[in-house]
Amino acid sequence: MSVLRVPAVFPARVNGLILFGGAMLGIVVLIALLAPVLPFGDPLRINPLLRNAPVSWQHPFGADKLGRDLFARFAYGARLSLSICAIVSVVCLVVGTALGLLAGYYRGIVDTVISRIADTLMAFPSILLALGIVATFGASMTNVIITLSVVYMPRVLRVARAPALAESRREYVEAARSCGVSDLRILTRHVLPNILAPVMVQATVVFAYAMVAEAALGFLGVGVPPPAPSWGNLLAEGRATLMIAPTQTIFPAVGLAFAVLGVNLLGDGLRDVLDPRMRRAGDPT
């Protein structure tokens, strides 16, 4: 029988944090989901008559230097960027948690090898490491996903390893071992449920980091190749017309900041609910 510790109290203020952050992220997700049915046309359609068109009812964000509707590009950019970040978060969550469990449970040489590889990856600045990997293998959506997964997976691994190390030494785990329970069953039924709280919170942090990193790669020209309307590409394209049409840069930048803030608030709320000890430690009252 596994021992699972769950928080007994869900404070109202934390629920408010989750709801507020979730609502902010939900707005962006809704725009992304509705992108194909919004009445603003094809984000790749060029119209020379609308070059650098200002904000209007027909074009809420205006048009870019090629006459492409910016709101359509913003909506499809949200769709693309959120998809990339969601995949990266899931990959980091699954792989990082699995490696963290192995390192914490088996310790010894397994822990040493896994931890040293993670430490090596984390020794490099995230953006520089991502730039190096993408520059080596080429810019594409697949390579961006793989790159960001490699860059941010060690963060989840380190968060999973510490509680797995502690849980693997508890009496109920030792009792399960003495009864002949397999390591796989111990890891999945006894250890994993008790380390999920910090790992899930870290997954939201990875999501936010991945959004910023994906936009940075696109802005630097090594992300998803144009004319795909990622938010990073929109920021890069708007840079050339910043003085004459600043909204081409402002709207994608505000959208990115809005989404990242929503994810961070959601992560803070989840952290406080799933780990009440951290909430009490940070509460001055």
Per-residue pLDDT, 9:
40
Indicate whether 231 belongs to any domain.
yes
pLDDT tens by residue, the chain, 285 residues? 444 554 444 444 446 888 888 999 999 999 999 988 888 778 888 888 888 788 888 888 888 888 888 898 999 999 999 999 999 999 999 999 999 999 988 888 999 999 999 999 999 999 999 999 998 888 889 999 999 999 999 999 999 998 888 888 888 888 888 888 887 888 888 888 888 888 998 999 999 999 999 999 999 988 888 888 889 999 988 888 888 888 888 999 999 999 999 999 998 888 878 765 555 444 443
Indicate whether 35 belongs to any domain.
yes
Largest CA distance in the chain: 77
Per-residue pLDDT, 248:
87
Per-residue pLDDT, 278:
53
Measure the CA–CA gap between 263 and 153, rounded to whole angstroms: 18
Q: Name the domain count of the chain.
A: 1
**Total-model pTM:** 0.85
Per-residue pLDDT, 6:
46
Indicate whether 77 belongs to any domain.
yes
Measure the CA–CA gap between 7 and 212, rounded to whole angstroms: 32
Indicate whether 188 belongs to any domain.
yes
Per-residue pLDDT, 253:
93
Tell me the residue range of the domain where 86 lies: 16-42+60-275
Measure the CA–CA gap between 41 and 66, rounded to whole angstroms: 14
**Residue 220 belongs to a domain with what CATH number?**
1.10.3720.10
Indicate whether 10 belongs to any domain.
no
Indicate whether 24 belongs to any domain.
yes
Indicate whether 148 belongs to any domain.
yes
- Provide the residue type at 176 as one letter: A
Per-residue pLDDT, 284:
43
CB 156 within 8 A of CB 100: yes
CB 28 within 8 A of CB 86: no
